[in-house]
Structure 1
Amino acid sequence: MDSVVTASSPVLGKPLVHFGKRVLERTASGAPSSDYRRLGVHPLTPHIGAEIDGVDLSAPLDAELADELKQALLEWKVIFFRDQHAFDAESQLTLARVWGEPEPNPFFPKTATAGVSRLAKDADSAGNKNIWHSDHSFMAAPALGSVLRAVDIPPAGGDTMWADMAAAYDNLSAGMKERIEPLTAEHDWVHSWGAMMTADQIATHRQSLPPVEHPVVVRHPRTGRKLLYVNEPFTIRIVGLPEDESRDLLHELVLQARIPEYQVRFRWQPGSVAIWDNIATQHYAINDYYPQRRVMERIAITGGPLS
């Protein structure tokens, strides 16, 4: 019998209500517990998101401290830091290299510091829509993670949310897990980023960014834990399924990121920094601060092919 039972909406016919407890494991079953000597770790939920203290991110990191940061990210999937007022773009690049080489987003505006992208929304753009997503899933080797720092934040609003896609996978029914285990999905950027481009701009980007395929269920490249790897803007179809079946299945799977039990929400303050695991999570930047201004700078970290 399936371990998860759902009721259906009489209107939509889609799973709506979850009966019984959810499986909300911070790490894979049987993984050893972590011991931090240099960091203070303060969970924001039991399984995703923790604020970290005891570290100045603008100062050089020794090997032990870097290892503890890497372990904290694997354990909590997104980690947050407060009062990092001396943390600038160069510090951000140095920190990102704890995990790997910086990877520019092909569509974001660049800054004077190579590898750093600026995400600025003001009165003309702050009301633009956002959506749950995983960065760079439209690339053959999606970003492993990201480092984001607050540059200019509104007096209220502008929070960011992250969803734990291991929890999303864990809570699928046994029947759904069996169904999607062998499947792959096509990811593409044209329906999202391309909506803001001319035909010539799309053709230019298409030369280096063709559609790619990833497994619907991937194993995390560093923990081996199974994750649901589909997202609303970039996953466009399930390979090999009829169009209607692909659409219905994909609709059900992408909605898993919207379940509050899988999420953590972070309120930005001056000097705040977030680092997230881009394979294990999806994120959503909340656009509720119009007409105020919000400016962030982000570095993505190069990843590898998923399996």
Structure 2
Amino acid sequence: MPSLTITPVAGRIGAEITGVRLGGDLHPDVVAELRQALLTHKVIFLRGQDHLDEQGQVGFARLIGEPTAAHPTVPALHGNAHILDLDYSNGHKVDRWHTDVTFVDRPPLASVLRAVIVPEAGGDTLWANTVSAYEHLPVELRDLLDRLRAVHTNQYDYVRAATVDERAREHAEVFTSTLFETEHPVVRVHPETGERSILLGDFAKRLSGLSAHTSGSVIRLVQEHVTEVENTVRWRWSPGDVAIWDNRATQHRVVHDFGDRPRRLHRVTIAGDVPVGVDGRASTVLSGDAAAYSPIAA
């Protein structure tokens, strides 16, 4: 059995792991060690996984949990129903902080992202630790957030889309081809660690029971805190790198500083549970049925 070396790469989030060759045949003890590192560090990075192909990536993901469909609305990579092809040469641009697929009632447990083609410089990805962000809030603000709920939706910002090209607008139309809306607690209790984490990001559009102006002000305030540099880690990609993050405890975004140079990554997401708030209330579906996208993890 290989011996893993786990090296933190930032003070509050992120660790690089060496000594393991990812695939669907890993020993259960290695999988358990990787999962514990994921819970501890929120995002883990493994370089040099050039041997992985689509089948191997999905095979490894199955050791963490049940893979979801590629996306609730966006088609999967041809030939593999579990892989979302993040090809940034097609006008697709996601440069805002978000947690994956929070517009459904069962956001992924984790995501496994593999670098296929990356620019020689630029195109890094940032992650933020939403647990440490919560823990470093003033207690009065934590108490407020514990009681709030937010509506998340995949409704696209067409004002923003007007500034990009036709391919990006076509992607936005596919992205919103089925409308999903879910009311989540702003603070969820992590089902494995019991930690409290902030559940917001770019899919959070308004706070339940508050005016649009107040909602926007509170969400901006909290998001600015979540994404403070002390809560973040930045990863410089090389082909063959794999990043795995706990989607229940992080947000992330791409740095779009690579112009028209190609950047392509493949993502597999792992089925997650329905978030539960500090008060014990679970998330509530307002629109859309995500059953075809993902089972609800036990």
Question: How high is the TM-score relative to the length of structure 1?
Answer: 0.81
Equivalenced residue count is: 266
CA distance in 2, matches of 1:252, 1:135: 21
CA distance in 2, matches of 1:203, 1:108: 9
SS of 1:205's equivalent?
coil
CA change 1:82–1:129 in 2 (3 A) is: closer
1:36-55 to structure 2, matched below 5 A, reads 38-55=3-20
Equivalence for 1:223:
193
Shift of 1:244: 2.5
Residue of structure 2 aligned with 1:184, choices 141, 149, 157: 149
CA distance in 1, matches of 2:112, 2:176: 30
Equivalence for 2:280:
none
1:99-178 to structure 2, matched below 5 A, reads 99-103=64-68, 104-111=70-77, 112-122=79-89, 125=91, 128=93, 130-178=95-143
Residue of structure 1 aligned with 2:29, choices 58, 64, 82: 64
1:151-300 to structure 2, matched below 5 A, reads 151-192=116-157, 196=169, 204-206=177-179, 209=180, 211-231=181-201, 233-300=202-269
CA distance in 2, matches of 1:45, 1:199: 34
Shift of 1:180: 1.6
- Opposite residue 238 of structure 1, the aligned amino acid is L
Deviations 1:207-241 (A, max 9, x none): xx3x111101111121110111111x210111112
Deviations 1:93-133 (A, max 9, x none): 111112211112124342122201101122x637x451010
CA distance in 2, matches of 1:149, 1:294: 11
CA distance in 1, matches of 2:260, 2:175: 30
| Unmatched runs of 5 consecutive residues or more in structure 1 | 1-35
Question: How high is the TM-score relative to the length of structure 2?
Answer: 0.83
- Alpha carbons 2:2, 2:20 under 8 Å: kept: no
Deviations 1:281-305 (A, max 9, x none): 0001111111210010000111010
Deviations 1:158-191 (A, max 9, x none): 1111000011111111111111211111111103
CA distance in 2, matches of 1:202, 1:274: 24
- Opposite residue 237 of structure 1, the aligned amino acid is R
CA change 1:200–1:90 in 2 (3 A) is: closer
CA change 1:50–1:290 in 2 (3 A) is: same
Shift of 1:192: 4.4
- Opposite residue 156 of structure 2, the aligned amino acid is H
CA change 1:292–1:303 in 2 (3 A) is: same
Deviations 1:113-159 (A, max 9, x none): 2201101122x637x45101000010011111100001111111111
Shift of 1:83: 0.7
Shift of 1:200: 8.5
| Unmatched runs of 5 consecutive residues or more in structure 2 | 162-168, 277-298
- Opposite residue 85 of structure 2, the aligned amino acid is R
Q: How many percent of aligned residue pairs carry the same amino acid?
A: 37
Equivalence for 1:304:
273
- Alpha carbons 2:4, 2:20 under 8 Å: kept: yes
Shift of 1:37: 8.0
**Greater Rg by CA:** 1
Shift of 1:271: 1.3
- RMSD in angstroms over aligned alpha carbons? 2.3
Shift of 1:62: 1.0
CA distance in 1, matches of 2:172, 2:141: 39
- Opposite residue 154 of structure 1, the aligned amino acid is P
- Opposite residue 43 of structure 1, the aligned amino acid is P
